[in-house]
């Protein structure tokens, strides 16, 4: 028995000594750790890299790279995402780091994040063969899964959530009337909910159907009306040559305002997108919609078109611009008219992982008829600016936090349609 005890003690001592010598060979020697990764000794080197204490920033970058690669090559894609995300946050201009992160994200089935990093890489100077491979990966991600979905929740305090006028009086027929406080601008707190689901059965080599439903709700504390929109659609998606996509859909929506039915609509839409060169994407969309306003008891036919352009300026910056035009016809002439708008914006990723987006827009809406109450032809001019902040390293179980701050101002020939609003949107979102 004593012999067995001494033998077991000696065996445990040898095992622990061996483990200690292996850890020491990796924990304080990144060159040896790199060689181990090259030799496929992933499971041995990962614990050593996790416990390694870098002496400077260069060693930390190297440790993160080796740890991410070792986890990825060991088939631990989710574990690889963490160190690689930190690495990209520290050196956002490196296409090599982004490509490795995108590969890990795709293996972890986080396709939305993977596509973002692949598109950022297109803004760098890549060899033609690498650029072609990156574009091919983006094209594969464009072909959707058999189903898609998303969830969104946000707190939305706003200075004027109901978009009411700040004027205290209005003039009818030369007489001034005071507006009650409830009819004027006032702050409100609310929540914003969004969720959707779509099935995408395959009906051809490059063609899919899409059957989906979406619910968007903005619920307030009584100082602004609740706003709920439900949308259902059926569509065909065709994927042509690399970077090309054609969409045709039929849809129906219903909107409730303050708990009562506000409008119903149905229509058809068409979309086309493609890549131009190596860094530019362009998308066209057109829509024809029949809208019935149930409370006001009139109908509108709306035809609209828009174009959007996105350009990868660098590995850290993406720029975008858009334009829209619409025509409205109705038997109720004050609702008929035309609308036009332009928008510009972009995203920039800072060292550390912070990503900031800025969007500016200007819209003009002119109406044909004379308003029966004010005796004027309505014409609106609206400007808006939105800043969005997120961080590529902030992610919990697939949910990413987002902060948006928006400023909106509309001037109108009819005072009741002039307003200002400042909104804050603090939320989380997830696509799956």
Q: How far apart are CA 344 and CA 358, in angstroms?
A: 8
Give percent above pLDDT 90 in the chain: 44
**pLDDT bucket at 212, cuts 50 / 70 / 90:** very high
The Cα–Cα gap between 396 and 241 comes to 36
Tens of pLDDT, residue by residue over 226-276, are 999 999 999 999 987 767 889 999 999 999 999 999 999 999 999 999 888
The predicted pLDDT at position 226 comes to: 96
For 214-241, the DSSP string reads EEEEEEESSSS--EEEEEEEEEEEEE-S
Q: pLDDT at position 364, please?
A: 97
Name the pTM for this structure: 0.78
In three-state secondary structure terms, 302 is: strand
* DSSP 8-state code for residue 336: -
- Stronger pLDDT, 321 or 394, i.e. the higher one: 321
For residues 180-192, give the mean pLDDT. Answer: 90
Mean of pLDDT values over 6-30: 42
The reported pLDDT for the residue numbered 242 is: 65
Distances (CA, A) of 284 to 143, 347, 357: 18, 21, 22
Token readout for 133 is: 């491979």
Q: How far is CA 183 from CA 164, 168, 227, in A?
A: 7, 9, 17
pLDDT at 232: 98
Q: Mind listing the pLDDT tens digit for each residue in 122-156?
A: 777 777 777 778 777 877 776 667 888 899 999 99
């Amino acid at each position: 028995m004593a012999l067995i005890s001494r033998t077991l003690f000696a065996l445990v001592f040898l095992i622990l000594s061996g483990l200690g010598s292996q850890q020491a060979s990796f924990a304080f020697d990144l060159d040896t750790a790199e060689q181990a990764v090259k030799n496929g000794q992933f499971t041995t080197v990962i614990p050593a890299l996790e416990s390694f204490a870098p002496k400077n920033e260069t060693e930390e970058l190297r440790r993160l790279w080796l740890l991410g690669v070792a986890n990825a090559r060991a088939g631990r894609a989710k574990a690889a995402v963490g160190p690689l995300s930190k690495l990209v946050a520290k050196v956002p201009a490196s296409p090599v780091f982004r490509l490795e992160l995108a590969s890990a994200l795709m293996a972890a089935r986080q396709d939305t994040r993977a596509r973002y990093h692949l598109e950022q890489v297109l803004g760098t100077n890549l060899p033609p063969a690498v650029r072609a491979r990156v574009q091919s990966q983006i094209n594969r991600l464009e072909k959707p899964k058999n189903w898609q979905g998303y969830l969104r929740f946000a707190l939305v305090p706003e200075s004027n959530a109901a978009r009411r006028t700040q004027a205290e009086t209005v003039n009818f027929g030369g007489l001034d009337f005071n507006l009650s406080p409830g009819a004027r601008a006032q702050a409100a707190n609310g929540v914003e909910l969004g969720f959707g689901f779509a099935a995408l059965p395959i009906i051809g080599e490059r063609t899919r159907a899409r059957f989906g439903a979406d619910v968007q709700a903005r619920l307030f504390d009584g100082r602004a009306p609740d706003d709920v929109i439900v949308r259902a659609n059926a569509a065909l998606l065709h994927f042509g040559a690399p970077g090309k996509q054609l969409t045709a859909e039929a849809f129906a929506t219903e909107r409730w305002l303050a708990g009562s039915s506000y409008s119903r609509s149905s229509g058809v839409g068409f979309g086309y997108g493609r890549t131009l060169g190596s860094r530019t994407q362009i998308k066209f969309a057109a829509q024809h919609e029949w809208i019935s306003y149930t409370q006001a008891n009139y109908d509108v036919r709306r035809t609209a078109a828009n174009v959007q352009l996105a350009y990868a300026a660098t590995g850290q910056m993406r720029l975008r611009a858009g334009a829209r035009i619409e025509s409205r016809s109705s038997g109720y002439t004050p609702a008929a008219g035309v609308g036009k708008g332009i928008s510009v914006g972009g995203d920039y990723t800072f060292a550390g992982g912070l990503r900031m987006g800025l969007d500016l827009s200007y819209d003009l809406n002119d109406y044909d008829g004379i308003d029966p109450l004010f005796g004027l032809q309505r014409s609106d001019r609206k400007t808006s600016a939105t800043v969005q902040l997120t961080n590529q390293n902030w992610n919990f179980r697939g949910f990413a936090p987002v902060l948006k701050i928006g400023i909106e101002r509309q001037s109108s020939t009819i005072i009741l349609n002039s307003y200002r609003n400042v909104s804050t949107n603090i939320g989380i979102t997830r696509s799956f």
